[in-house]
Amino acid sequence: MKSLRLAAAGAALLLAAAAGTGTAQAGTPTAAALLQAGALQGVADGYPAVIGLVRQGDTAQYVHAGVGDLSTRVPADPAAQFRIGSNTKAFTATVLLQLEAEQRLSLDDTVARWLPGAVAANGYDGGRITVRQLLNHTSGLPDYAKDSGFALSYALNAQPTRTWAPQTLVDLALAQHAPTAGPGQQWSYANTNYVLAGMVIKAVTGNDPATEVQHRIIEPLGLRHTTFPTTDPTLHGTYLHGYEYPVVGIAILDATTSDVQAFGAAGAIVSTLDDLADFGRALLTGRLLPPAQQAELTTTVPTGTDGTVGYGLGIAHFRLPCGQWVWGHNGAVLGYYSDWYASEDGSKEIVRVNSEFHLIGPTKGQQDTSKATADAYCAL
């Protein structure tokens, strides 16, 4: 696991930071108590706030610690909105799977079939990369988030309304280096894959991915507090302020307002604990996809050699140290770091968000809160 994750909506999952304890027995802490303890520890580690949800069946419990706004010192609200970062990827993958079910494309179509010329530089060939390989991160494409100019601009957050055309982001990726592996040969997490996936959605439908997500997922599921911003970098209503702690000699930065075009279909969605859990349950229980596409969603490729993590299409399947397997993902964008864990049938879920992320990890706070999330899940 890399120690430096610049612009970590594009970071590899911090699954190795999670650790479990096993199923709770009589007299042992409940899942909610374990997650609450983790939230308090996260604040002790320096987070302004940590909020979380534990849901089993129709019963939900909420935890919170710290303050939602360092200026007003208002207590953190578990109903607050936050930026979900790379948890967005499951929404994008779902739209493409729905389009396949409608026979408007195949996941085995090449990128060049829908985006001629978009991937055609420095040895990369969109005619050899499939849409499926974009979604499971086996395309072999570099991550534009590792481009130093992009990373610095995003980290400074000095231009939250800066325009990043999707093709510009793809071009930044292609210019980094020549291919180190051919399409389908190995797993390598890259936001570039999902920016291209969003471009495919537009090529097929004529609509931006945000519009398709709105009509196909947000509205049908009644996710009233979930949005996919495309130009407005501000949050509205009740929201958790996100912060960036100084790395070298600068003051703490309120990063609540940040560039949504920097990640787009790879990481721009704003949601809440409840809405993200509702989406996750609907996704895993087949409410959004027919059986054939559901099977594709959950067909994984190995991300390493130890067999503990597999990546499907926008979601991961991983084994906690307590032995339980969960579906989920994490999201890390400027100011926010979140984890989502769910059982195969969606009956057990945990969602947690920390209100600070400064593009470097794993930090002690990330490790402590991720461990608490895993412990809590194992206690369900």
Looking at the annotation, which residues are catalytic? 86
Query: Taking a C-beta distance cutoff of 8 angstroms, is the pair 84, 271 a contact?
Result: yes
Q: What is the CA radius of gyration of the chain?
A: 19
CB 108 within 8 A of CB 130: yes
E strand or H helix at 220: helix 219-221
Contact 243, 48 (CB under 8 A): yes
Q: Which has the closest alpha carbon to 92: 192, 236, 240?
A: 192
Which amino acid, residue 231? T
25 in helix, strand or coil?
A: coil
Helices (H), 102-144: 111-114, 131-135
Greatest Cα pair distance, the chain, in angstroms, is 62
Sheet hosting strand 348-354, strand order edge to edge: 59-66, 49-56, 348-354, 336-342, 325-333, 316-319, 309-311, 301-302
What is the C-alpha separation between 245 and 251, in angstroms, rounded? Answer: 7
Name the H helices within 245-363: 273-284, 291-297
Cα 159 to Cα 84: distance, rounded to the nearest angstrom: 20
Handedness of CA 358, 12, 239, 372 (dihedral sign): negative
Q: CA torsion angle for 323, 371, 332, 48 (degrees, to 10)?
A: 160
CB 189 within 8 A of CB 316: no
Q: Please say whether the beta carbons of 316 and 15 come within 8 A.
A: yes
AA letter at 323 = G
- Burial (CB count <10 Å: 0-12, 13-18, 19+), residue 242: buried
